[in-house]
Structure 1
């Protein structure tokens, strides 16, 4: 009982201390004590901030020391002819006080992730790397890469000493005051696996598709890559359909839809890849090799030789089942996503080439050389490539692109 009385007395004393005027301590002493306490707090706070800004502190976490340090040591930011090295805080800690405090609060998530083991191993770190990278990219983009510009500034650059190809990109970037991170992701650390990323615009397309009620005999377009099955129960997968692929609906059965694909393929090897147009490498679907030659699934309508390559092409139809809720009536909403992604990702370093500036068969090689400088995920990259091909010079002047033309063949 005595312990409870003592606790009660302590809380009563504590309450009176903070709620009643001082009777034994002078106001001057209280003010002086408060000033000293505030000074001690502020000094301790700043000392703590400075200590956590040291590279040694960053590398004391084994996730940083084992994963990021070896990558940094292979770059020019670690060792170069001038001997100027960028430390972890130089890039990842803002110099402005308020921004620095905000960044410290954000960094507490990584500290927590280390403590609870979310990024505690190499495998877990790589799994979450895309999330960590996107946070930093967003921060650099928001502040126009302020930390980079503490050392690199457009006004101090001598463009004449750059390679010609670099001059073109850098002059355009300087003119538009482009954030460094738009072009230089992965310059100090390895790029994450973009397979873990997802374009949020696809969610809008899927939402639109869920509201569509497909009718038998009508043509629609796939808004997402999806599997194609031989049976209504969807247990026998025979291939997959790419985005913006036209299909003809044959019948609806519960949560599944039977569709027909009318496409072209090269009569070579297993002939698994199905294209939207004769002679053009615009991929619409890919069949499993064990069913690509199955005449019960693939019906050959006609054969035709491409005079440019000498290859025989077959006009075929494929019937299969897909999941309901992934089809739209027009490809325009899909092209809007592709057009926006192409414009935003490929116009940062230079003016992006016009869609009709190359033909459909040239675009895959050209795009492969560009996409590595962007942060597109795989699905977005495939969609943009298909957009470029279907709006290429092969269809310039036509009122409908290749996808619309392929759909009309149904």
Structure 2
């Protein structure tokens, strides 16, 4: 009986602390009750849910930081944002290590912040499928569809933004499509 209690308890903890992915651009807060936004979590960014309080969750966001800038990137050397913070918000970044890419040192970091528990999912695949569909259906109306591997991760945001206004893609989905394109760019594995 005691083993069953531990198994159920472990299962409940695993579901609360499992990896989650942002479905949309989500506001980040300093605490569970604050209305002041201190940053943004980007679509497809992976977070670990640490705690739940009311309609908010405390999440841990990991990635790479360039010279102490208040942003966490998906990989070192690419401008693929996981989260961006207000530089005056006092967010504490925990350094986990560092790497050098093209002569620039990037710190592997993690930070915690609160966000609403809505629009988080445990499966990133449907987000990528939606983004790919939006890209395929809308970005070939005026010209041939550019392959995802045609541009680098750092080139895709400006390429997409320069043409996105001419598509049927809702502005709320722009960042989802950009994240998909960047993560499937020619310089990504």
The answer, yes or no, to whether TM exceeds 0.5 is: yes
Residue 96 of structure 2: aligned partner = 301
Q: Higher RCO, 1 or 2 (CA under 8 Å, sep at least 6)?
A: 2
How many residues are paired up? 177
Gaps of at least 5 residues in structure 1 are 1-212, 397-410
> CA separation in 1, counterparts of 2:108 and 2:18?
20
Match of 1:245 in 2: 45
Aligned to 1:276: 74
Preserved CA contact (<8 Å) 2:25 2:175: no
> Does residue 231 of structure 1 match 2:26?
no
Q: 1:313 and 1:264 mapped to 2: Cα distance?
A: 6
Are the equivalent residues in 2 in contact too, given 1:301–1:316 (CA < 8 A)?
yes
| Other-structure match for 1:217 | 17
SS at match of 2:137: helix
Q: Secondary structure at the match of 2:144?
A: coil
Instruction: Name the structure with the higher helix share.
Output: 1
Equivalence for 1:395: 188
SS of structure 1 residue aligned to 2:187: helix
* TM-score between the two structures when normalised by the length of structure 2: 0.83
5 Å-filtered alignment, 1:304-383, equals 304-307=99-102, 310-383=103-176
Q: Which has the larger radius of gyration?
A: 1
SS across alignment from 1:215: helix
CA distance in 2, matches of 1:380, 1:231: 27
Aligned 8 A contact 1:214 1:249 in 2:
no
Q: 2:39, 2:155 → 1: CA distance?
A: 26
Structural mapping, 1:5-404, within 5 Å: 215-267=15-67, 271-291=69-89, 294=90, 297-307=92-102, 310-396=103-189
**Bigger proportion of residues as strand:** 2
Of stretches 231-240 and 350-359 in structure 1, the one that deviates more from structure 2 is: 231-240
TM-score, normalised with respect to structure 1:
0.40
Cα separation, 2, equivalents of 1:377 and 1:369: 15
Secondary structure of the 1:281 match is: coil
* Equivalent residues of 2:97, 2:109 under 8 A apart: yes
Note closer, same or farther for the CA distance 1:368–1:326 as it changes in structure 2 (3 Å cut): closer
Q: Could you tell me whether the CA contact under 8 Å between 2:24 and 2:173 is conserved in 1?
A: no
Query: Alignment RMSD, CA only?
Result: 2.2
Native 8 Å contact 1:234 1:321 kept in 2: no
Q: What is the CA-CA distance between 1:221 and the residue it aligns to?
A: 0.4
Q: What CA distance in whole angstroms lies between the structure 2 residues aligned with 1:359 and 1:283? A: 15
SS at match of 2:62: strand
Contact persistence 1:229–1:238 (CA under 8 A): yes
